[in-house]
Amino acid sequence: MADRTPQQVLSDMASGYLNPQAYDVEELKGFLEEAHNADVRTAFQSALAETLSGNGIGRGDWEELTDDEFEDDAEWRDYLTALQAFLFEDGPYPIPDEDDEN
């Protein structure tokens, strides 16, 4: 982990767990909650917060990483906010835009 930036961790986790072909937010949450993944969890949470504040990756980069598309920045930010709440605040399961499935 020491050689990867928080943004690289976010990119790795987004492309591996959050693309429509392998969408598994519950598995990602479980992975981040494992004690030996504390550094990855911290980096992912930090990069997601940076992204939500406008200082991280942009919507186009996110869509490229995840093969998902959003109508606009507002829809994307709503999804990221729901994702953050689910992963780190015990919020409800974030459902991707149904129009983008299949």
DSSP 38-79: HHHHHHHHHHHHHHHTTSS--HHHHHHHHT---SSHHHHHHH
pTM: 0.81
Query: Domain limits of the chain?
Result: 6-100
**What's the mean per-residue pLDDT of the chain?**
85
pLDDT digits (tens, 9 = 90+) for 11-60: 888 888 886 667 788 999 999 999 999 999 999 999 999 999 999 899 99
